[in-house]
Amino acid sequence: MIFYFSGTGNSRHVAKRLATLTDDSCINLADHPNLASSPLQAEEPLGLVFPAHGWNIPSIVKAFVQNFAYNLLETNIKQQESSHYIYIVATCGDDTGRLLQQCSNLLSFLGVKLSSAWAVQMPNTYVCLPGFNVDSPLLVEQKLRQSMKEVENIAICVRKRQKGIFSMRPGTFPTLKTYILGPIFYKVLITDRHFHTTPSCTLCGTCVRHCPVGNLTIDHGRLQWQHRCTMCLACFHSCPRRAIRYGWFTKNKGQYLFHPHLLPSV
């Protein structure tokens, strides 16, 4: 089983492609949080696919992983005692810092060992700070082309149940990013309090439908954020009127949502 979380579609695409290539099935963990504590089939490989957020694991994924690991413990089929193959694929726009250590620490704290992990570079979606924007169409194409090859290689390893492959993208200053900047980022910028709409909002509801955690409502003639946000930015990127802003810096930023038509033909 592959569990995934995705805001703008990159990780969903990777999870679905991996599922196809490994004859597995995949489930959106935001839609089925309780599945983390459902019984696991013996011998079943377990994959987790999610985006890097601030060089860290998104909090919704962290909560799922904790329940999932407790479940492995409770059913007494810890990695050491069973043949469960547990792997992670993190998608990122640039680099993941020390996200791998975070994942393996989180799991090993609960007695579960990670078998393998990969980072796959995909088009960037973070736009809320100065200097951050979506990629050019050329870079989107290059990243998607490269990612297609990487996902095929990951699928080969998963099919062979290869262990000990930790192919992440730590980038520069990974410790600083994950352990110093990441927590500040989470504290200050993982909140929906800085979202607002411009007068061009027509209350069409597109962003409401794209929010993976049901954090948006239209009440009293206004779009409202309900403070359960994971900051995936699906709302920002899906608005056909470009009417969503986050703080002061998103006015002229681009939009990106994964769509299969973006995949380059091979």
Query: Using CB under 6 A as the criterion, which residues of the chain lie in contact with ligand SF4 when the complex forms?
Result: 7, 192, 197, 201-207, 210-211, 213, 215-216, 223, 225, 229-235, 239, 241, 243-244
Rg (C-alpha) for the chain, rounded Å, is 18
> Minimum CB separation from ligand SF4 for residue 224, in Å?
10
Window contacting ligand FMN (CB under 6 A); options: 28-36, 51-59, 136-144, 149-157: 51-59
Residue 170 contact, options ligand FMN, ligand SF4, none, Cβ 5-8 Å cut-off depending on partner type: none
Distance CA 143, CA 186 (A): 26
Instruction: Return the residue of 22, 71, 79, 91 that touches ligand FMN, per CB under 6 A.
Output: 91
Closest Cα partner for 101 from 84, 85, 83, 119?
119
d(CA 185, CA 180): 9
As measured in angstroms, the least distance from the Cβ of 77 to ligand FMN is 29
3-class state of residue 39 by DSSP: coil
- Read off the DSSP letter of residue 135: P
Number of residues that bind ligand FMN (CB under 6 A): 26
Residue 8 or 116 having the CB closest to ligand SF4: 8
What's the sign of the alpha-carbon dihedral 98, 144, 53, 161? negative
Tokens (6 digits) for 229:
């946000």
Q: Supply the minimum distance, in Å, between the C-beta of residue 166 and ligand SF4.
A: 29
Beta strands in the chain (DSSP E): 2-4, 26-28, 46-51, 86-92, 116-121, 166-167, 195-197, 216-219, 222-225, 244-246
Is the CB of 160 or the CB of 259 nearer to ligand FMN?
Answer: 259
Q: Which stretch binds ligand FMN (CB under 6 A): 37-45, 92-100, 105-113, 145-153?
A: 92-100
Q: What stretches of 5-133 show up as alpha helix (H) in DSSP?
A: 10-21, 59-74, 99-109
Contacts of 123 (CB under 8 A, 6+ apart): 10, 93, 134, 135, 139, 140, 143, 144, 256, 258, 262
The answer to whether 215 contacts ligand FMN (rule: CB under 6 A) is no
Torsion (CA) 87, 15, 243, 251 in degrees, nearest 10: 50
Q: How far is the CB of 119 from ligand FMN (least distance, A)?
A: 8
Looking at the Cβ atoms of 68 and 126, the one nearer to ligand FMN is 126
Q: How far is the CB of 236 from ligand FMN (least distance, A)?
A: 9
218-237 positions binding ligand FMN, by CB under 6 A: 231-233
Q: Applying CB under 6 A, does 122 fall inside the site for ligand FMN?
A: yes
Task: Return residues touching ligand FMN (CB under 6 A).
Answer: 6-12, 51-55, 91-95, 122-126, 231-233, 258
